Amino acid sequence: MVEKKNFVVNAEICDARKVQEEELAAYSKIFINTGLLLVDERSRAVLNRLAVVCNVEDTVEAEGEVQTLTVNGQYELKGDTAVEERTLLYVNGTLTIRSDTDEILQKMVRIHVNGDVSYPESLASLLMPRLTVNGETRCIPDGCIELEPVFAPDQYFPLRARTDAAYYVDKKVRLTDPKLDIDALLEKKVRFVTKCMIVPEEKVQKALSMFDERVKLMVVPADLTYVDGDVHLDKRLLNRYGRRLYIDGSLSLDRKSGDAIAELEKVYVNGEVELLKEQIEAFARVDAVYDSLRVGMGKKIMNKVHITVDQSLLDASPDGVEIANCVSLTVQEDVRAESLAERLRVRNCAHVVCSPQIRTALEAVCENVASISAGEENVHTGNAILNGIRRMAESRVVNAEKYIL
């Protein structure tokens, strides 16, 4: 007796509406891995009767002909975009929908986006029943001009800005350019719609009239210098900005930051401060405000495919080792459990392998690690991979952007 094969379909769009039960019945199991599964009443019933395993992000039930449009990257729907009746739009990337697209949206059976979508508020009721998004959606208030998610107008923006215009900024507006003329923006009746604004203390009263009462207000005190983004504390930072800082981001310290800590007078950190264990006492003497404080490691190993840690590496790193954003990490059997707590931190790694004796200690120093395996688990994992490869060789596999089942 000939053993039946499996049938595996990997596709962004799988159209199952023409499926024939007698053809699929020849397979032991059918695996459908797809972002979007198209069915009708008949095909749904057929799939329910068969040994079908579906890993599907979205299912659309549609009778009759459907035109599919697949886009990778950025795509924009405008009033003059040519779209056929009963179109299914599948976007891997970013979709921008403009305000004059009512008729186009009415032609859409479904819009599926693996990424971000921005759309006008007035089209929400028309768009939402058709839209599936794996990402962020931004609803732009009607009449607004969309700018960058974080926008810092420079000294020339008042010259370019439209009179009586409303600008939408998704995350934050920074009015921190010392050369920015607030009065010029007020004369043009410019308004901003955003979640958060950062403004120097001396400009708060004037700037507030450009925002509504829902905005989160972050004021840079008059005695502090504004610093944009994540920075490292050293003499160069102080020489450029001074000893009293407002940091819109995180602040990191290392062994070279000692002299700078002694000179730093005051700091406000709109984020995290990371420093070494021996710097805690010195930093505590600084007039500092921050969101959180984290004790870091002296040596950092980041963005590698595979890393191996042994006891000699930890012995040679008195300030500790931090491993982050790596696919695979192997901790050798000679590593002592007591060394892990003192000298190792692991963040954002997919898989960690260690001996059974140190697994508990290792788990305590791991953050955002998908899996940790030890001892016999490695053998079982290897066998599972081999078995998976063997089953794949005995299966019919289809890889396609769009597949008609």
- Please provide the DSSP assignment of 217-254 as one string: EEEE-TTSEEEES-EE-SHHHHHHH-SEEEEES-EE--
Task: Please indicate, yes or no, if residue 343 is contained in any of the structural domains.
Answer: yes
Task: Please indicate, yes or no, if residue 397 is contained in any of the structural domains.
Answer: no
Count of structural domains, the chain: 5
Q: Hey, which residues does 322 pair with through a beta bridge?
A: 300, 345
- Cα-trace Rg, the chain: 29
Task: Please indicate, yes or no, if residue 233 is contained in any of the structural domains.
Answer: yes
Task: State residue 8's pLDDT score.
Answer: 87
Mean pLDDT of the residues in the chain:
88
Tokens 């215009």 locate to 165
- Same domain? For 57 and 24 the reply is yes
Residue 345 confidence (pLDDT) above 50: yes
- Same domain? For 150 and 216 the reply is yes
Average pLDDT for 157-175: 95
Number of CB atoms found within 10 A of residue 264's CB: 24
- Same domain? For 71 and 136 the reply is yes
Task: Please indicate, yes or no, if residue 273 is contained in any of the structural domains.
Answer: yes
The answer to whether the CB of 320 falls within 8 A of the CB of 340 is no
Q: In 3D, which of 202, 173, 178 has the Cα closest to residue 190?
A: 173
CA angle 157, 161, 165 (to 5 degrees): 140
Task: Please indicate, yes or no, if residue 393 is contained in any of the structural domains.
Answer: no
CA angle 162, 205, 174 (to 5 degrees): 55
Average pLDDT for 123-144: 89
Residue 281 confidence (pLDDT) above 70: yes
- Same domain? For 45 and 89 the reply is no
Residue 379 confidence (pLDDT) above 50: no
Average pLDDT for 58-64: 80
- Same domain? For 216 and 149 the reply is yes
Task: Please indicate, yes or no, if residue 382 is contained in any of the structural domains.
Answer: no
- Same domain? For 288 and 305 the reply is no
- Same domain? For 109 and 44 the reply is no
Domain boundary among 194, 220, 246: 220
Task: Please indicate, yes or no, if residue 385 is contained in any of the structural domains.
Answer: no
Domain boundary among 220, 244, 270: 220
Number of CB atoms found within 10 A of residue 149's CB: 15
- Same domain? For 197 and 166 the reply is yes
Average pLDDT for 119-148: 90
- Same domain? For 206 and 230 the reply is no
Residue 399 confidence (pLDDT) above 60: yes
Task: Please indicate, yes or no, if residue 404 is contained in any of the structural domains.
Answer: no
Average pLDDT for 302-327: 88
Report the range of poorest mean pLDDT among 113-117, 205-209, 272-276, 389-393.
389-393
Average pLDDT for 6-14: 86
Number of CB atoms found within 10 A of residue 79's CB: 11
Task: State residue 382's pLDDT score.
Answer: 45
Give the whole-angstrom CA distance, residue 70 versus residue 68.
7
Domain boundary among 45, 62, 79: 62
Q: Which domain holds residue 93?
A: 67-142
Structure confidence at residue 386 as a pLDDT band (50, 70, 90):
very low
- Same domain? For 76 and 51 the reply is no
